[in-house]
Structure 1
Amino acid sequence: MGVTEAAAWVTWTLLVSTVLAYVVYWIHHRRHQHSLFARLGISYVPPHLIYGSNHTLRGRGALATKVVGQWMKQYGKVFGYYVGWQPNLVVADLDLVREILVREFPTFANRPTLVIDAQPVVDSLVGLRDQRWKDVRSVLAPTFSVVKMKYYMGGVINEKINELLSIVSKKVKRGEPIEWHATYQGMTLDVICECALALKTHCQRDQDGDDFFLAVRQFLRNAVNTAILLALYFKVFAKFLSFVSNRLAYSGRMTMMIVNHLRTVITNRRRDSSIKHMDVLQLMLDEAENTQPSDKDCVAEYNSKSGIKRESKKLTDEEIIANAWVFLLGGFETTANTVTYMSYLLAVHPEVQERVYQELCDVLQDSPEELTYEQVHSLKYLDQVFCETLRIYPPAVNFVSREASKDIQVEKSFRFPHVYSFVSRNTVCVIYLNNFII
């Protein structure tokens, strides 16, 4: 064997040995992670080495709530399961839910850490954590007051609903079938785009030809892409997979297109501040400009007693863009689905439909042209129908998830480890809503 062959053999031997050593270490470390619930004395679903229980929970054709319901029958009202390496503790005991989400809320204020740095969600109220979440929320809360929403959004909503009625009326006259879910999706997207994203779209008029409408629907279908799943299973690659998801995946490219548009709009509006636009983006810009940091909250202020570096409550451009984007992320499917289900329930319960119709007639008899904000709030029975629709077909059907910010003993029976586990509440916990009947 020559020197070259010997060197190559040694190199390959070292390489294979290193890989094997890392694989052995990874398996040992993963098994240690999967032993958390056993060490705490909490019953749990036996995990797969790589997937945890995610392949069962999110597998093809699986419904998460039904899977968790089956687990609950087997493991009780408090049990654990793993998503990749991360432990999840399901809590369906109402007293324990109250303890976690009310009495101990400061410890469980944060949502679960995002598996990847998904832009721009990490800068929104969904992704922000601890004090920065509180600061941004305190700035945004006045932005969405009743008076401002009525003034800024009322006209846009009425305009888009009138357009919806016109489209439906024409289809009825022509005897064409109406695909209500797609129709409501178009209306919802038109409202959100104009109110939050400063985009003029025509999703209702031309659904098949509107590129933005088609792109949003495609984005939602591919929101949980392969990069996110791999980050769930292999945390070590999370940063690299964040880049892949944000820059190369379809959902990431779609997001960046909207983010770049919003950044351009913000720059143009700051350049010419004489024109005030009536949308949520303008409200956030105004709030950001009007929020002056006090001496206490000044940027980079140093607290000599605690050694903590404090940040300004003033919104950054990234936070403005992120929260405008979350309007689309959180409002498109949920609103369209709820209105679709409500239409279905009214269709199969004509007696309820008649009562809603009579209530509308009574309210509109003095002003038949257009509903005002105050009149909408006076429609008590319609509100009951809406709430019952949400009870039967909740838009968020999985879990309310919170992450423990520190080790905590709850009701002297369970210990929630800092960072490693978070408490999930599925729809079974919302039992009190079942008492609401139209």
Structure 2
Amino acid sequence: MDIIASYGFGVEISSMKDADNPFVKNAIKLFSNEKVDNPMVLLMVSFPKLMHYMDLFPPEASDFFVKIVREIVEARKQNPDTGTRNDFLDIILQALKELEENEGYQRMGITQKVLEAQLMVFFLAGFDTGRTTMSFTSYYFALHPEIQSKVREEILDAIKATDGEIRHDTLSKLPLLDACIAESLRLHPPLSRLERVTKRDFQ
């Protein structure tokens, strides 16, 4: 959650140390909603247009994140000299700028509300899928301690090779861990379908 909050919303949090943080509490509300177990959710997934008439997530939690997005976007617009974070919000800001300058975006139906929704999708998809994958991977490590030990040794060797520093290229030196995560995804994919469809043909 901390990584998604930082790179998606530009918000620095520590979900493990500060569980009472409003960002953390509202994020938990999004994924602990009792409506998820409601049979109507299956209908909404099968017939997406029903989502226009039903709330899948608690309104107060959804409103919280929409408010955060708008406040941060407005703050960065007002203070462009503060520099860029190269995060997802910067991409949104660039898209908003192009939206204002390019009528083609408006004809395609891309509005500020659509861009805000993309940020919400980024958070929901990034957080929940990552959480689910880590949970199942940890579960199988517990079932197979011998594999867990080999993965641990692989990680320690990779970190030792970089003098204790964990870098991005370190991940490419962990083939066993990568294979374990891939197998977990094969057994329990967090997403079983793709919701997006093109509205018209493109060349």
Q: Into which bin does the TM-score normalised by the smaller protein fall?
A: 0.7 to 0.9
- 1:382 is aligned to 177
More strand by share: 1
Q: By how many angstroms is 1:216 displaced?
A: 2.1
Q: Cα RMSD between the aligned structures?
A: 3.8
Give 1:225 shift.
7.0
- 1:70-85 equivalences in 2 (<5 Å): none
Quick check: 1:337 aligned with 2:145? Answer: no
Query: What is the match of residue 252 of structure 1?
Result: 59
Q: Give how far 1:328 is off.
A: 1.7
On the 8 A contact 1:334/1:395 being kept in 2, the answer is yes
Contact 2:9/2:69 (8 A) holds in 1: yes
Distance of 1:240 and 1:356 partners within structure 2 = 46
Structure 2: gaps spanning 5 or more residues: none
> Which residue does 1:204 correspond to in 2?
16
Q: CA offsets, 1:135-190, max 9 Å, x none? A: xxxxxxxxxxxxxxxxxxxxxxxxxxxxxxxxxxxxxxxxxxxxxxxxxxxxxx22
For 2:4, the equivalent position in structure 1 comes to 192
Query: Following the alignment from structure 1 to structure 2, what is the Cα–Cα distance between the partners of residues 345 and 311?
Result: 49
Does the Cα contact within 8 Å between 1:197 and 1:281 map onto a contact in 2? Answer: yes
C-alpha distance 282-228 of structure 1, shift in aligned 2 (>3 A):
farther
Distance 1:215 1:203 in 2: 12
CA separation in 1, counterparts of 2:120 and 2:79? Answer: 23
Equivalent residue for 2:81, pick from 274, 279, 299: 274
Write the distance in 2 (CA, Å) between the matches of 1:326 and 1:400. 13
Amino acid of the residue matched to residue 323 of structure 1?
Q
The alpha-carbon deviation at position 386 of structure 1 amounts to: 0.8
* 1:103-142 superposed matches below 5 A: none
Aligned length: 194
Between the aligned partners of 1:342 and 1:226, the Cα distance in structure 2 is: 24
> How many percent of aligned residue pairs carry the same amino acid?
21
Q: Which structure is larger by alpha-carbon Rg, 1 or 2?
A: 1
List aligned pairs for 1:51-200, cutoff 5 A.
189-200=1-12
Under a length normalisation based on structure 2, what TM-score does the superposition of the two structures give?
0.75
Q: Aligned equivalents of 2:39 and 2:139: distance in 1?
A: 35
Letter in 2 for 1:204: M
Question: Within the alignment, does 1:311 sit opposite 2:107 as a pair?
Answer: yes
> Amino acid of the residue matched to residue 174 of structure 2?
L
Label 1:368 to 1:344 Cα distance change in 2 as closer, same or farther (>3 A): farther
Contact kept in structure 1, 2:159 and 2:166, CA below 8 Å: yes
SS in 1 for 2:81: coil
Cα 1:283/1:276, change in 2 over 3 Å: farther
Residue number in structure 1 paired with 2:68: 261
Among 363, 376, 381, the alignment partner of 2:158 is 363
Residue from 79, 92, 95 that aligns with 1:284: 92
- Call closer, same or farther: CA 1:211–1:288 in 2, change over 3 Å: closer
SS in 2 for 1:369: coil
TM-score by length of 1: 0.38
Query: How big is the shift at 1:405?
Result: 7.6
Counterpart position of 1:299? 103
Contiguous gaps of at least 5 residues in structure 1: 1-188, 302-309, 407-438
Separation (CA, whole Å) in 2 of partners of 1:254 and 1:378: 39
Separation of aligned partners in 2, 1:320 and 1:404: 17
